[in-house]
Structure 1
Amino acid sequence: MSKLIPRDLQSIQAFIFERLLNEDPSARSLALLGTFPIKLDDHHRAPAILRIEKTPFAAELAQSLSSDLLHEVKCIENNDIYTWLLGWFNRKENAPDVKINIIFPATEVHIRKYSAQTTCMIRETPELFHKIVKPYIDKIPPSRTQWVEDILSGKSESHKVLHRDGTKFGYVILPDMKWDLTTLSSLYLVAISSCRDIKCLRDLRKQHISMLRGVQHEASRIVKERWGLESGGLRFFIHYQPSYYHFHVHIVNANYCGLMGMCVGQAHLLDDVISLLEIDSDTGPFILERMTLTYGLGEQHGLFESMNAGQERLREISSDL
């Protein structure tokens, strides 16, 4: 019997809940920790994370929301011109109520990532990067980004690839797993570099400008042709620290602002990064190596303890100036 892939109702019902990792009222989502059997009807189980979020409303459903989709309502309160109700929808094939993301089997790193946690603002000097962050990145096993390699090789998600650039500094563009593939207002694509030596923002050099501009050009063209979104309708940004250390660019509808990863303290606008690279030197040390970067780091992140400890030394240096 082959490994269980939880892709239908029967297999998802095999999930055994253990505890709530996180709830996010603003994103209307829950992250649950539990287990799935390694194989269906097997007693051997492995950790799994289910992230369940309410799907956004599709604009084309606007005319039928009250007349067709609503199955039942219950009034909560009324005050003058204001009325509050709870509502229940009829099942409709093109209007799912929730989107479910599954990580299985989930590692301890995944569990920590999706757990509720306090965020601390960290100042990362070039010295702290070379002393703490770079060794951390270098120790990450290749298995952690095997799913990226599968996309680049065409083994996985090849039917979703919207563009593939096969040049020296190539990349692929495809929908991000956070998008429901339907709602234009929450459009979310990702461009993944095929250069394995670009792990994060600090690895970018002037020679990569053509790749970054290519991502902008091709993504804008694709979105205009497929979904009619005009120039200026997309926001391009890079995370630091990223969720995985293989360089990628996030591409979202410019009006979509609903995720923490778009906030100051993690997201760096691609245009700003390109501008920095344009004024960079040709021989180094390079500008993104020389900069001190400030970002939010969750207490469950593998870098948190060592980087938080490093902040005390920075404070001592500042007080001596």
Structure 2
Amino acid sequence: MTSAGEKQHYTLALIEKLMENIPHDMNVGLLYDIGCQLERSWRKWGFFEDTILSRFEFAISVFHTYGHQWPCQIIYHPRKRQGFGLSDGEGCERLWSALKPLIAPLWVSGFHQQIFVLNMQVRHLDSKSTTSLGNWLMWRWTDCQTQRELHALGVSEDELRAEWRSQVRHQTKPSPRQLSKKGKQEITKILEMKDLLTARAEAVATLKLQLMTNRIVDLATFNMEITEARARHDKVKETLRRHRVALGVDAQADLNKLKSNKYLRLRMNALTLKTRLRQRKFELERIERSYHQTINGMIYFTSYIYMGS
């Protein structure tokens, strides 16, 4: 490698070599810093046959996952994908971190001395990891036991997975778009919720009337029904309030007359744009931080060349 950054062609070359040396029915779990982009590129450009793609499960290394957007994290985080267990994909990062202190002394060493020192350091790290293997196994075992405590909560795994799939669908849905009829759509939604709120209030009133006229067969069942009815009513009422606040109108406004209001259309589109900018904020911060690091590195390198000359 002669340049910085992730180059997908290196990964593709490694995958091609890997497929030549493993059985044709073996499945592969690939942990990569930009595994999301690699899978997308693979599906879009067809680097390999679909039969090979079907044998791969893509995920992002744990440390690098937190630099990705949240929708990407909930899909490609190895803890949230089946088949990866407690693997984190940071083995190379740990090795490089252990070898990092040798950069300065080996910078001025000869080639053969560099190879010798690196070889001795890797052997030392191998011996050290073997010595601490028992502690590593105990830590993993404790972590597995913690995962098993979920079964003691009385919630089935199928129910948890169903809830998780629902969350993934919600978190990965397309971002809101700016529309010329945004205000009208929001007003229509509020009017529909007003009708729903009226229906919920009528349901609560009907149950109260049964109580007042003494037409209750089972008091316990009645209490459950009226509690659920009130909860549904309060939920719709709170949702309606939030939509009104977002729209910027009070409860006495004639919403039917405001459907074509230009100000409300611009307001709702501005809120949509604000939401999209918030979603991009973290990514923009990463770009700015990377830019500053690049500039600082160039200044340091230039100063080093100047002092050396």
Sort the TM-score into its range (normalised by shorter chain): under 0.3
TM-score by length of 2: 0.26
Larger-Rg structure: 2
- Whose helix proportion is higher, 1 or 2? 2
TM-score by length of 1: 0.26
